[in-house]
Amino acid sequence: MSAEPHRRLQELRDLLHFHNHRYYVLDDPQISDAEYDRLLRELIVLESQHPELVTPDSPSQRVGGAPLEAFAPAAHTVPMLSLDNALSEEEFLAFDERTRRNLGAADDIDYMCEPKLDGLAVELVYERGVLVQGSTRGDGYVGEDVTLNIKTIKSIPLKLLHLHPQLLQVRGEVILGHREFEQLNRQRENQGEPLFANPRNAAAGSLRQLDPAVTATRPLNMFCYGVGGNQGLAFKSQAELLSLLGQMGLRVNPYIRTVRGARAVLAYHQEMAGRRESLPYDIDGIVVKVNEVALQEQLGAKTKSPRWAIAFKFPARQEVTQILDITVQVGRTGALTPVAVMAPVSVGGVLVSRATLHNQDEIDRKDIRIGDWVVIQRAGDVIPEVVTVVASRRSGVEKPFVLPEQCPVCGSHTVRPEGEAARRCINLACPAQIKERIYHFAGKRAMDIDGLGEKLVDQLVEKGLVKDVADLYFLTLEQLAALERMADKSAQNILEAIEASRRRSLDRLLFALGIRFVGEHVARVLIDAFHSLEELGNASRDALMQVHEIGPQVAESVSDFFTNEENRRIIARLRQGGVEMQPAQQRSSDQLQGLSFVFTGALTAFTREEAERLVVSLGGRATSSVSAKTSYVVAGEAAGSKLDKARQLGVHILTEEEFKEMVGL
Minimum Å gap between C-beta 215 and ligand D41 is: 20
Q: How far is CA 206 from the centre of its chain?
A: 24
Reported as half-sphere exposure (CB side, CA atoms, 13 A), residue 336 has a value of: 28
User: What sign does the dihedral 293-298-301-307 (CA atoms) show?
Assistant: negative
Choose the binding region for ligand D41 from 113-121, 422-430, 599-607, 615-623 (rule: CB under 6 A). 113-121
SS3 per-residue string spanning 118-137: CCEEEEEEEECCEEEEEEEC
Q: How far is the CB of 68 from ligand D41 (least distance, A)?
A: 18
- Decide: is 410 part of the binding site for ligand D41 (CB under 6 A): no
Contacts by residues 31-37 (CB-CB < 8 Å, ≥ 24 positions apart): 31/320, 32/316, 32/318, 32/319, 32/320, 32/375, 33/316, 33/318, 34/316, 34/318, 34/319, 35/319, 35/320, 37/85
Instruction: Pick one of 76, 200, 289, 313: the residue that binds ligand D41 (CB under 6 A).
Output: 289
CA distance 149 to 133: 10
Cα separation, 347 vs 642, in Å, equals 61
HSE-CB at 147 with a 13 A cutoff on CA atoms is 11
Instruction: Tell me which DSSP letter residue 350 carries.
Output: E
Q: Which is nearer to ligand D41, 79 or 417 (CB)?
A: 79
**Residue 262 or residue 510: which is nearer to ligand D41 going by CB?**
262
Comparison of 74 and 287: residue with beta carbon closer to ligand D41: 287
> Segment near ligand D41 (CB under 6 A), from 36-44, 78-86, 353-361, 631-639?
78-86
Q: Per rule CB under 6 A, is residue 622 in the interface with ligand D41?
A: no
| Residue with smaller CB distance to ligand D41, 165 or 306 | 306
Among 31, 83, 168, 242, binds ligand D41 (CB under 6 A): 83
Q: Whole-number minimum distance, CB 435 to ligand D41, in Å? A: 47
138 versus 620: smaller Cβ distance to ligand D41:
138
Span near ligand D41 by CB under 6 A; candidates 76-84, 259-267, 377-385, 468-476: 76-84
In angstroms, what CA-CA distances link 219 with 245, 421, 422, 632? 22, 29, 32, 58
The answer to whether 95 touches 151, Cβ cutoff 8 Å, is: no
- Rounded Cα gap, residues 454 and 442, in angstroms: 10
Minimum CB separation from ligand D41 for residue 113, in Å?
Answer: 9
Rounded (to 5) percent helix, strand, coil in the chain: 40, 20, 40
Among left, alpha and beta (phi > 0; psi -120 to 50; other), residue 360 is alpha
Nearer to ligand D41 among residue 121 and residue 328 (C-beta)? 121
- Tell the smallest beta-carbon distance from residue 156 to ligand D41 (Å): 16
Smallest gap from Cβ 443 to ligand D41, in A, equals 49
Does the footprint of ligand D41 cover residue 121 (CB under 6 A)?
Answer: yes
3-state secondary structure of 485: coil
Min dist CB 228 to ligand D41, Å, is 8
The rounded distance, in Å, linking the Cα atoms of 92 and 362 is 40
Query: CB of residue 287 vs ligand D41: minimum separation in angstroms?
Result: 4
Three-class DSSP category at 227 = strand
- The answer to whether 502 and 475 are in contact (CB under 8 A) is no
- Residues 217 and 134 sit within 8 Å (Cβ to Cβ): no
Does residue 81 belong to the site contacting ligand D41 (CB under 6 A)? yes
Which residue lies nearer to ligand D41 by CB, 295 or 475? 295
- The C-alpha angle 513, 609, 447, rounded to 5 degrees, equals 20
Binding mask 169-188 for ligand D41 (x = CB under 6 A): --x-x---------------
Q: Is 76 in the site for ligand D41 (CB under 6 A)?
A: no
The number of angstroms, rounded, from the C-alpha of 247 to the middle of its chain's C-alpha atoms is 37
Q: Which residues are catalytic?
A: 116
Does residue number 558 form part of the binding site for ligand D41 (CB under 6 A)?
A: no
Give 540's contacts (C-beta < 8 A, 6+ positions apart): 559
Question: What does the alpha-carbon distance between residue 414 and residue 433 come to, in Å, rounded to a whole number?
Answer: 13
Under the binding rule (CB under 6 A), the answer on residue 468 touching ligand D41 is no
Using the rule CB under 6 A, which residue among 168, 197, 265, 309 binds ligand D41?
Answer: 309
- Subset of residues 236 to 255 that bind ligand D41, contact rule: CB under 6 A: none
Which one of 77-85, 351-359, 443-451, 603-611 is the stretch in contact with ligand D41 (CB under 6 A)? 77-85
- 478 contacts: CB under 8 Å, gap ≥ 6: none
Question: At closest approach, how far in Å is the CB of 225 from ligand D41?
Answer: 4
3-class SS of residue 458: helix
Number of CB atoms found within 10 A of residue 385's CB: 18
Binding test (CB under 6 A) with ligand D41, winner from 287, 320, 326, 633: 287
Q: Binding string, 187-226, against ligand D41, x = CB under 6 A?
A: --------------------------------------xx
82 contributes a contact to ligand D41 by CB under 6 A: yes
Q: Do the Cβ atoms of 65 and 23 come closer than 8 Å?
A: yes
Give Cα 26 distance to the centre of its chain. Answer: 28
116 vs 642, beta carbon nearer ligand D41: 116
φ, ψ at 574 (rounded to 5°): -60, -40
623 is a site residue for ligand D41 (CB under 6 A)? no
Segment interacting with ligand D41, rule: CB under 6 A, options 116-124, 204-212, 336-344, 507-515:
116-124
Q: Least distance from C-beta 301 to ligand D41, angstroms?
A: 9
Binding mask 580-619 for ligand D41 (x = CB under 6 A): ----------------------------------------
Shortest CB 138 distance to ligand D41, Å: 11
What single string gives the DSSP state of each residue in 507-525? HHHHHHTT-TT--HHHHHH
User: Per rule CB under 6 A, is residue 114 in the interface with ligand D41?
Assistant: yes
Count residues binding ligand D41 (CB under 6 A): 15
Q: Is 116 in the site for ligand D41 (CB under 6 A)?
A: yes
Instruction: Tell which one of 43, 86, 109, 117 touches ligand D41 (CB under 6 A).
Output: 117
CB nearer to ligand D41: pick between 143 and 334? 143
Q: Point out which residues bind ligand D41 (CB under 6 A).
A: 81-83, 114, 116-117, 121, 171, 173, 225-226, 287, 289, 306, 309
